């Protein structure tokens, strides 16, 4: 099972968080949330759109910080998990979960202050169209992550059931330019790939994370990073 079919399966939604963000995956969850918070800044009373909101990890986090947020996803099963999280956190009135196609966003131009997508572009079949739509509905910021082609991610990518798409920097720059976006900031992380962390205990993962950070801060660390965070502005 590949791509959208894999992602929309009910059993995937039920196990998604447990499989990816338990054990050493807790480090991944923490780092991704940190990246989103650093990029979006103070979201109180801001209108935010999350593309591919999945189980609501980021949607609920931002609603708790005062954002008026829409979470869009193609999987009803994933969003059911998100709605449950929102109820438990008491922020359902700040979130609207909507099933939709990221290539045809049902919003007017310049509707949101910030639009972001995490864990999305590795599954994107038409990334240029998706990014153009994100730029269209944002009046200011577009933030997203990619998995990188020239990194440790490429070593095991062919084994993954969802068939991840990997990006070179030149491809990201071209996509940004074609969408009318200007790169405002970037960060690169995880020399060791996500799959490695998910297979080891959290305590041991912390030790490897220290080594990973040392490698990342070296002269070749950015080039070897398996994940990049891109913070762009609408022209």
Tell me the per-residue pLDDT of 132-164, one tens digit each, with 9 for 90 and over.
Answer: 999 999 999 999 999 998 876 766 655 555 568
Query: What is the structure's pLDDT at 162?
Result: 56
> Tens of pLDDT along 156-185?
655 555 568 899 999 999 999 999 999 999
Query: What is the structure's pLDDT at 2?
Result: 47
- Listed in sequence order, the residues at least 6 apart from 233 whose beta carbon sits closer than 8 Å to its beta carbon are 140, 141, 142, 181, 182, 184
Query: What is the structure's pLDDT at 157?
Result: 59
Query: What is the structure's pLDDT at 17?
Result: 62
Taken as a whole, the chain contains a residue count of: 235
Low-confidence ranges of the chain (pLDDT < 70): 1-22, 152, 154-163
Query: What is the structure's pLDDT at 11?
Result: 54
- Tell me the CATH architecture of domain 3-234: 3-Layer(aba) Sandwich (3.40)
pTM of the shown model: 0.89
Domain boundaries, the chain: 3-234
């Amino acid at each position: 099972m590949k791509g959208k079919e894999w992602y929309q399966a009910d059993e995937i939604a039920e196990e998604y968080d447990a499989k990816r963000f338990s054990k050493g995956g807790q480090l991944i969850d923490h780092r991704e949330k940190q990246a989103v918070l650093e990029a979006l800044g103070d979201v109180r009373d801001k209108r935010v759109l999350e593309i591919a909101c999945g189980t609501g990890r980021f949607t609920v986090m931002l609603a708790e910080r005062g954002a008026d947020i829409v979470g869009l996803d193609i999987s009803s099963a994933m969003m059911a998990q998100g709605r449950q999280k929102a109820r438990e956190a008491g922020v359902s009135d700040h979130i609207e979960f909507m099933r939709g196609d990221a290539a045809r966003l049902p919003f007017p131009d310049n509707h949101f202050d910030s639009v972001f997508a995490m864990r999305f572009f590795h599954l994107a079949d038409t990334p240029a169209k998706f990014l153009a739509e994100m730029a269209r509905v944002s009046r200011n910021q577009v933030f997203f992550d990619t998995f990188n082609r020239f990194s440790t991610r490429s070593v095991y990518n062919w084994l993954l059931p969802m068939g991840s798409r990997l990006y070179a920097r030149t491809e990201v720059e071209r996509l940004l330019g074609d969408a009318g976006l200007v790169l405002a900031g970037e960060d690169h992380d995880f020399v060791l790939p996500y799959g490695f962390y998910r297979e080891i205990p959290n305590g041991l993962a912390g030790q490897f994370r220290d080594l990973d950070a040392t490698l990342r801060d070296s002269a070749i660390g950015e080039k070897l990073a398996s994940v990049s965070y891109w913070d762009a502005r609408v022209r």
